[in-house]
Homo-oligomer: A and B are copies of this chain.
Amino acid sequence: MTEQDVKAALRAQRIETPSWAYGNSGTRFKVFAQQGVPRDPFEKLADAAQVHRFTGVAPSVSLHIPWDKVEDYTRLAEHARAAGVSVGAINSNVFQDDDYMLGSVTHPDPRVRRKATDHLLECVDVMDATGSRDLKLWFSDGTNYPGQDDIRARQDRLAEALAEVYARLTGDQRIILEYKLFEPAFYTTDVPDWGTAYAHCLKLGERAKVVVDTGHHAPGTNIEFIVAFLLREGKLGAFDFNSRFYADDDLMVGAADPFQLFRIMHEVVRGGGLDDAAEVAFMLDQCHNIEPKIPGQIRSVMNVQEATAKALLVDKDALAAAQSAGDVLGANAVLMDAYNTDVRPLLAELRTETGLAPDPMAAYAASGYAERIRAERVGGNQAGWGA
């Protein structure tokens, strides 16, 4: 790939940021409030627009319903556009109502299942209003104790709800189904791994695809293998990027294992995942518990860009030659050569070429935006998990 091709690919890249990253978040032990945090969806979109303003590659924002519930979604979408961004994926939330203590669409009680499915259908209404393509489904459903519920019956209930929602989609709308090993359920989770999500999506049809959240795997799982496999099957719908040392830590993507992120992006490039036709959505899903929110998002976007740049720099011909020759060290060296390259100058150059400041972190810090929102956003209820 020529440097021009690399730059073109980087220029075309789009990374979606999530509205909830701009609100307060924390662990079960404590949510630490930060100054200047948004108090409603409009302020969240304003903050997201800053990330796009300084990086140039984050033009859309995922919403979370009901955290981002508003009277008039058309107005919200217009507000976003005015700020320079658009509404991206709609995330359903069927885990924060008291009714969902034992599950949502897999709950033993049909009344609760109906309520949960209705919420998912309502999210499609929001998509219609905002023009969003993707309904992102994450179910916290599961059990805490052996015997608590019937594992198999819960799959039946899940399949039924998914089918109803899938039938409701129109146009190019998609269901993108997320899996997660555990948390908040501690014995079984109803969609615990990519295999389960894949099997359900297969039955739903072509517009159902799998979401890979990079923090949702068992220790030792080779995530790039899953990415390569799903791309080969045409079933990779989206990424929820973040990083982790232990469980679903939701740290900034690339902060814990930048080499893993590079390997993932290498498989994305290898499998054609950057092409528009692949319809792979690249999204962040993070919690900035102790670091400032907007800079946390900017840094994360930059980390994805750097990993992508390195993946694009891999000498494909040399790699293929070494691989087919069975040259273990040679093939590994080709990959490592790209990884060890310092791509920050290339990205700075690219930004300058497109009219951006070369260092988005410094430019944001110098912009005075942080000081302004700290001063202005006093009073009211800060957004946060559950807000």
Nearest to A149 among chain B residues (CB) is B323
* Cβ–Cβ < 8 Å partners of A95 in chain B: 29-30
Give the distance to chain B from A65, nearest Cβ to Cβ, in Å.
15
**Which stretch of A4-12, A80-88, A334-342, A372-380 is in the interface?**
A334-342
Contact A332-B147, Cβ < 8 Å, known A186-B246, A270-B152, A340-B342: yes
Interface string of A282-299 (1 = CB under 8 A from B): 000000011110011001
The 10 closest A-B pairs by CB, nearest first: A195-B195, A147-B335, A218-B218, A219-B219, A27-B184, A186-B249, A342-B342, A145-B332, A151-B228, A182-B246
Copies in the complex: 4
Within 8 A of B (CB), among A277-313: 289-292, 295-296, 299, 306
Across the interface, name the chain B residue whose C-beta is closest to A295: B329
**A151 closest partner in B (C-beta):** B228
Asked if B245 and A247 make an inter-chain contact with CB atoms under 8 angstroms apart, the answer reads no
A140 within 8 A of B: yes
Give A233 to B195 CA distance when docked, in angstroms.
Answer: 12
- Bound CA–CA A322/B140 (angstroms): 21
Instruction: Decide if B340 touches A361 in the complex (CB within 8 Å).
Output: no
Would A290 and B102 count as touching, CB distance under 8 A?
yes
Taking a contact as CB atoms under 8 Å apart, the answer to whether B150 and A320 are in contact is: yes
* Interface membership of A71, Cβ < 8 A: no
Q: Measured between alpha carbons, how far is A339 from B257 in the docked complex, in Å?
A: 12
Show 28 residue pairs from A and B whose CB-CB distance is below 8 angstroms, ordered by the A residue: A27-B184, A28-B28, A29-B95, A30-B100, A33-B98, A145-B331, A145-B332, A146-B259, A147-B319, A147-B323, A147-B335, A150-B323, A151-B224, A152-B271, A155-B232, A182-B245, A189-B225, A192-B225, A193-B195, A217-B218, A218-B219, A218-B221, A222-B245, A257-B260, A299-B333, A329-B361, A340-B342, A341-B342
Q: Are B108 and A323 in contact (CB under 8 A)?
A: yes
Q: Tell me, yes or no, whether A366 is within 8 Å of chain B by CB.
A: no
Taking a contact as CB atoms under 8 Å apart, the answer to whether A32 and B147 are in contact is no
Which of A155, A219, A306, A328 counts the most chain B CB atoms within 10 A? A328
On whether the beta carbons of B32 and A222 are closer than 8 Å, the reply is: no
Query: Does A349 count as interface, using CB distance less than 8 angstroms?
Result: no
Q: Give every chain B residue within 8 A of A192 (Cβ-Cβ).
A: 222, 225
Other contacts beyond A145-B251, A155-B232: 19, CB < 8 A: A27-B184, A108-B325, A144-B328, A145-B331, A146-B259, A147-B319, A147-B335, A148-B331, A150-B320, A151-B229, A155-B229, A182-B246, A186-B249, A189-B222, A195-B195, A202-B202, A218-B218, A258-B259, A258-B339
Cα distance A382–B259 in the bound complex, in angstroms:
36
Most chain B Cβ neighbours within 10 Å, of A231, A306, A323: A323
Known: A96-B29, A199-B233, A249-B186. A151 touches B225 (CB 8 A): yes
Complex interface residues of chain A between 241 and 256 (CB less than 8 A to chain B): 244-247, 249, 251-252, 255-256
Question: Judging by beta carbons under 8 Å apart, are A184 and B29 in contact?
Answer: yes
| A26, CB-defined interface residue at 8 Å | yes
In the complex, what's the smallest C-beta–C-beta distance from A143 to chain B, in angstroms?
Answer: 8
Query: Would A340 and B344 count as touching, CB distance under 8 A?
Result: yes
Closest residue to A145 on the B side, CB-wise? B332
Which chain A residues (317-364) contact chain B, with CB distance < 8 Å? 319-320, 322-326, 328-329, 331-336, 339-342, 344, 361
Taken residue by residue from 119 to 148, chain A's Cβ proximity to chain B (1 for < 8 Å, 0 otherwise) reads as 000000000000000000000100011111
